[in-house]
Every structure is written in C-alpha cells, then in structure tokens.
C-alpha cells in the first residue's frame, strides 16, 4: 500500500503541472507542539487539472516541536517525541469552484510522512510512566524504530486572484496518520520510600501520531 502511494506521487509530480503553490503551513497537532515549515521547503498544489476535478500533491518539511504516541499501555496528554523534522507528502483529489475573483477548492485524500531521526521526549515519557505505575520517580531508557507513516487528509482553501498568473491562498486541513515506532528497553523507578526497580518493556504496537490542523498561507502560480 505504501509503495503504491509513493509511485502515484512520483507520477503526478513528473507530469505537466497546472499550478504550484508556495506556502507557509503550520501544523497544530493533537497533544503536540506547534510545528512550522522549514522555509523554503513547502511546495503544495502541484498536479493536473481536469476541469472541475484535479489531482494535487507536493511536500512540506516541518520542524516538529513534538508529537503524541499511540499503542502504549498508558496515556499522555503531552507529546512523547520531538523535536525533529518531518517530511509530509499529500496526494489529494480537489474539487474546484471558480469565480472571477476567487476560487474555492475542497480536497480529500491520503498523505505519507517520514520523521527524520525522531527522538523520545524523555521528560514527558518519564512523567507518563511515573503516573502509570504510581511511582514517585521514573527514568526510561528506550530504543525506537522509525518507519514510514500514512494517513488521510481533508480540507479546503480559498484562492484570491490578484493577477492572471498568481493568486493569494489561505486554507485549512485536518489530517490523521501514524508511523510505526516500536519501543524496546527498560525503565527504572519506585514508589515513595521504596527501593528502585527496573522493568523490561516491549511495545511493538507503538506509533507516532500525526493528527491535527494544518493552516496554510501562500501563493499559487497558475500555468496558462
């Protein structure tokens, strides 16, 4: 499935582009920290136009402050990974509704993402383990796998036509995806006034969650 998505993305990018969007996109992840694009590495809206319907792709390199994790036996309301960089590549079907001064686009589809050298936020991880075990202190030492993630994305945007060759655009999308991030290792801790103990752990279903709002502001270059 992941290989099929990547092949489709390369085909669309290699095709004749009808538009190209240069944008500043900001990701507000669920249970995470605000993530900003690494300028100028945010190019969206590359694709093919078939009239009312189009196919769009692109990519954004995010500087991620922190992301949540799923598949663990405990919950945390703060991000358990980060900071790191994340590459996000969407593939969407877009419905276009044109007028003389503005264009409305409604999009939906899938996306792939890859976290570059993700790291564990041990401060938040230790607190989550401490609360889970009911201990006074906890100190984790974990190894994380790093895999390609996929998910779904949907949203809308408005393009304000200020020139025949380019438009100013503002949009918002919601996305939800996961990448495999199995954890193995140990954590050490103890309740108050008790001796420290070490626990071996393995969380094969652990995953990094990329879920939240993406807000974009930019310019769309139209090719006539």
Q: Which tens digits make up the pLDDT trace of 68-123?
A: 999 999 989 899 999 999 999 999 999 999 888 999 999 999 999 999 999 999 99
Structure tokens at 212: 């939240």
Mean pLDDT, rounded, for 146-173: 91
pLDDT of residue 36: 81
Q: String of b and e for 140-168 (b: at least 16 CB within 10 Å)?
A: bebebebeebbbebebebebebeeeebbe
pTM of structure: 0.84
How many Å apart are CA 8 and CA 13, to the nearest integer? 9
pLDDT in tens, 187-200: 999 998 899 999 99
Fold of 2-222: Porin (2.40.160)
């Amino acid at each position: 499935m992941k290989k099929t998505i990547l092949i489709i993305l390369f085909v669309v990018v290699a095709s004749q582009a009808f538009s190209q969007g240069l944008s500043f996109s900001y990701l507000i992840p669920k249970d995470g920290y605000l993530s900003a694009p690494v300028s100028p590495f945010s190019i969206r809206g590359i694709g093919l136009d078939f009239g009312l319907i189009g196919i769009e792709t692109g990519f954004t390199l995010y500087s991620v402050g922190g992301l949540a994790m799923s598949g663990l036996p405990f919950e945390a309301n703060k991000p358990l990974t980060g900071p790191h960089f994340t590459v996000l590549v969407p593939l969407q079907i877009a419905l276009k509704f044109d007028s003389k001064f503005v264009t409305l686009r409604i999009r939906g589809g899938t996306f792939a993402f890859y976290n570059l050298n993700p790291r564990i936020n041990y401060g938040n991880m230790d607190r989550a383990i401490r609360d889970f075990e009911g201990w006074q202190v906890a100190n984790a030492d974990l190894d994380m796998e790093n895999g390609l993630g996929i998910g779904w994305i949907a949203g809308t945007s408005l393009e304000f036509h200020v020139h025949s060759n380019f438009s100013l655009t503002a949009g918002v999308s919601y996305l939800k995806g996961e990448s495999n991030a199995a954890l193995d290792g140990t954590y050490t801790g103890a309740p108050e006034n008790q001796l420290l103990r070490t626990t071996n752990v393995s969380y094969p279903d652990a995953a990094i969650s990329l879920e939240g709002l993406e807000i974009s502001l930019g310019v769309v270059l139209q090719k006539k």
